[in-house]
Amino acid sequence: MKIIAFGGSNSSNSINRKFAAYAASLFPEAETEVLDLNDFPMPLYSIDIEKEQGQPESSRRFLAKISEADLLIISLAENNSSFNVGFKNIFDWNSRIDPKQFQNKPMLLLATSPGKRGASSVLESGRTIFPFHGAQIQGVFSLPSYNENFNEQNGIINIELKENLLKIIHSLPILS
């Protein structure tokens, strides 16, 4: 099984990219590739830029990565209760090339933030919107209070939260 994982953030030190990579590591038999949105630079989407310059090759490269996946793991960053601008820009460009940009791939949808709500607003947005774009969401999990519940050496350090994520992973239909 090939997993493509990424954080929905353009932060160079994205906690969501770290969380997506951690979740992918919980599939020990899988081949995993963790994408950094910064490796896919694109101009700010506008119809005028699309008419003048066409669609960016980096968007096509991103969609090609999605096509390689047997499972997508996306951890969404939340900015002002919505998608991070870096992710939203890629999402918008990709939708111009392929409205079903998630290509009917199974998806584990995650979110985390330093706050107690764990980016739950953007997670709900993704849960609602992504199926219209070809996502087959098979599991959803929010990690609240990232700095208190996660460290890079051990992953999720809150036992109850870790067990909840593992339960979701083990129940994914793709593993059946």
β-pairing, 82-83 vs 105-112, is: unpaired
As a whole number of Å, the end-to-end CA separation of the chain is 13
Q: How many residues does the chain have?
A: 176
Instruction: Check residue 91 and give its pLDDT.
Output: 98
- For the whole prediction, is pTM greater than 0.75? yes
Task: Tokens for 159, please give them.
Answer: 């036992």
Q: Which amino acid is at 120?
A: S
pLDDT digits (tens, 9 = 90+) for 53-65: 999 999 999 999 9
Instruction: Find out whether 4 and 20 touch, Cβ atoms under 8 Å.
Output: no
Distance CA 80, CA 153 (A): 29
Q: Average pLDDT over the chain, rounded to whole?
A: 97
Instruction: Find out whether 20 and 7 touch, Cβ atoms under 8 Å.
Output: yes
Instruction: Check residue 23 and give its pLDDT.
Output: 98
